[in-house]
Amino acid sequence: MNPAMRRFVYFLALTCLTLRGTNGAPHGSRTYIVHMERNTSHHSVLDKSACYVGMMQRATEVLAEGHPDDGMDCLHHVYDHVLDGFSARLTPEQAEFMGKMPGVKGLHPDVPVQLATTRSTEFLGLASASGRLWADGKSGEDMIIGVIDSGIWPERLSFDDLSLGPIPARWNGVCEVGTSFTVSNCNRKIIGARFIFAGREADIGRPIEDGVEDYKSPRDMVGHGTHCASTAAGMHVARAVSPTGLAEGTAAGTAPKARIAVYKALWGPEGVGSTADLIKAIDWAVADGVDVISYSVSGSTGEYFTQDYLMNIAMYNAVKRGIFFSVSAGNEGPAPGTVAHVAPWVTTVAATTQDRDIDTNVELGDGTVLKGRSDYDGTALAEQVPLVFGGDIAVSALYADNATFCERDTIDESKAVGKIVLCFQDDVERNRTIPAGAV
C-alpha cells in the first residue's frame, strides 16, 4: 500500500470511529448506493473518497442531537471503474438530504441477492482434436476469468497449476488472506482472491460469524463458487466421479488453461450478498485486469432499465472496457418472463439437458419396474420397503395439497421413515425436501 493510500485509510478509519455510535448499526437506517455524476476534478480514488466522506459528515447535520441514529456507519465502498459513487448506511432523513446535494444522480436502496459434469465438454464438442474449439482457442490459455460468487476451495484438483506457465504480466490483482486461506492457496491457476462483506454485515446488522456461518476469507463454505470456477476454468481431472461413484469420466472446465480470479461476495449457507458488495467486486475485477466475469447470482426478471438499474450500469461499463460478462438466467421458470439479467450487453446463460441419463429402477411388489433419474448408486435394498404418497402422510389435512409435492415442513416425518415417498412434480421445486428417514 503506497503512503498516500495508507494515510487515507487511517483518516477514513478515524472518520468511521467518529460517526459510529455505541449501539452497532443505526436504528431505522439502511444501506444505500449513492450514484454520483462524474467529477473531472477527481483525479484518483483518493479524491473521490475524500469528497464522499465530507458528504457523509454533512449528512449528520440533519439529525437532532441525541437522535438514536446518530451513529451513522462510515461509507462502505467507493466505486471507481464501473460506477461513480459509493455505498453507505443512512437514515431516511439522511438519504433525503443527501439526494439534494450537488452531483448526486440518485440514491438506490441496497438489495440482497442470492446465488442461483464429466460429460458436458464432450457433449459441447470442445475436444482437443484439430478444428475443435479447445484447439482453435488454445483452451483459453492465459485468459483471466473473474468469478464473483461464494469463494473457492483451492485444494480441489481442478485448480492444480503444474502445467501452467507464469502468471500473465498484465494481472494487477492480489491474493488476500483470511480464515483458513493463506497466500499459498493462490497459485498459477488461482492467481487472485478477494473477499468483501461490509454491505452484507450492514444488511444483517451484525458481523458474520467467522468459521460458523462462513469463512471470512476467499474460502468457499457452500461450494457454489467452487463449482462455477471449475465449470469455467477447471483443469482436466481424470477418473472423476460423483460422490455416489457414478458418472465417471474426465472432468474439465470450458477453458481449462484459463486463470481464475476469485471475488467472494456471497455469504452464509444460503449464499446471500448485497448489491453494494457485488458492484464493488465488479469494480475490483475491472481494475485487476480480468478478461471475463462469471456472475452466477440472482437478479430481477423485470425490465433491465428499471430493475437492477445500478448493477446493469456496472455491467455495461465493464463490457465497455472489453470484458465479456457471463450471467446466469436464474432458477425460476420455465415460463414466460422468468429469465433474469436480460440487458443486451451481457450474455445470459441458462441450463440445458445433455445426451446422458443416470437411471435407477424401482421394482414394485407386483413386479412392475419403474425407471427414473437418480444419483442412487444402484445397490439393491435387502428387502422391499413400503411406498407412500406424500399427500397421504401430511402433518395435517390443512397441508395435504402441499404434501403431494413434498414441500418443506408439510410431511409427517414419522410416517416417512423407512419408506419410499412418492411426490408430484410442479414448476417450482426449490422448497421441496426429502423427509428425514425416507428411503
Joined together, the cell numbers standing for residue 25 give 448499526
Structural domain count of the chain: 3
CB 35 within 8 A of CB 206: no
* Amino acid making up residue 153: W
| Residue 410, domain extent | 381-422
Has residue 428 been placed in a domain? Answer: no
Residues 196, 202, 204, 205, CA torsion sign: positive
Cis peptide upstream of residue 334 (ω within 30 degrees of 0): yes
**Cα 259 from Cα 173, distance rounded (Å):** 12
State the CATH number of the domain containing residue 99.
3.30.70.80
Q: Are residues 122 and 93 in the same domain?
A: no
Query: 313 and 236 share a domain?
Result: yes
Residue ending a domain, among 86, 109, 132, is 109
Q: 287 lies in a domain? A: yes
Examine residue 435 and state whether it is found in any structural domain, yes or no: no
Q: What is the mean pLDDT of each run of 10 residues along the chain (439 residues)?
A: 42 38 53 92 89 88 62 76 92 90 93 68 54 58 94 92 93 97 97 96 91 95 91 72 59 82 95 94 97 90 75 95 91 79 87 68 82 69 84 91 88 89 65 54
Indicate whether 132 and 103 sit together in one domain.
no
* The pLDDT of residue 59: 85
How far is Cα 375 from Cα 360, in angstroms, rounded to an integer?
8
Domain boundary among 94, 109, 124: 109
Residue 253 maps to a domain: yes
Whether the CB-CB separation of 351 and 311 falls below 8 Å is answered with no
Q: What is the 3-state secondary structure (H, E, C) of 187-255?
A: CCCEEEEEECCHHHHHHHCCCCCECCCECCCCECCCCHHHHHHHHHHCCCEEEECCCCCCCCEEECCCC
C-beta contacts of 43-50 below 8 A and 24+ residues apart:
45/78, 45/80, 46/4, 46/5, 46/8, 48/78, 48/80, 48/84, 48/86, 49/8, 49/12, 49/75, 49/78, 49/86, 50/8
Q: Is residue 410 part of a domain?
A: yes
Q: What is the torsion angle, in degrees rounded to the nearest 10, for the CA atoms of residue 23, residue 27, residue 33 and residue 34?
A: -100
Q: Are residues 97 and 133 in the same domain?
A: no
* Distance separating alpha carbons of residues 439 and 433, to the nearest angstrom: 13
Q: At what angle do helices 275-288 and 309-320 cross, to 10 degrees?
A: 0
Residue 27 sits in the same domain as residue 122:
no
**Tell me, what CATH number does 149's domain have?**
3.40.50.200
- Residue 116: per-residue pLDDT: 67
Domain termination residue (choose one: 109, 130, 164): 109
Q: Residues with Cβ < 8 Å from 43, sequence gap 6 or more?
A: none
Q: Are residues 90 and 102 in the same domain?
A: yes
Q: Are residues 290 and 213 in the same domain?
A: yes
Residue 30 sits in the same domain as residue 98? yes
Looking at residue 229, its pLDDT comes to 92
Domain identity same for 126 and 225: yes
Predicted pLDDT of residue 125: 59
Shared domain check, 137 and 97:
no
Whether residue 44 lies inside any domain: the answer is yes
- Cα–Cα distance for residue pair 151/25, rounded to 1 Å: 26
What global pTM score does this model have? 0.76
Q: What is the distance between the alpha carbons of residues 91 and 79, in angstroms, rounded to a whole number? A: 21
* Dihedral angle computed from the Cα positions of residues 141, 147, 151 and 156, in that order, rounded to the nearest 10 degrees: -30
Q: Please compute Rg for the chain using Cα positions.
A: 25
* Residues 27 and 66 placed together within one structural domain of the fold: yes
Give a yes or no: residue 251 inside a domain.
yes
Question: Residues 15, 84: one domain?
Answer: yes
- Domain for residue 365, yes or no? no
pLDDT of residue 21: 33
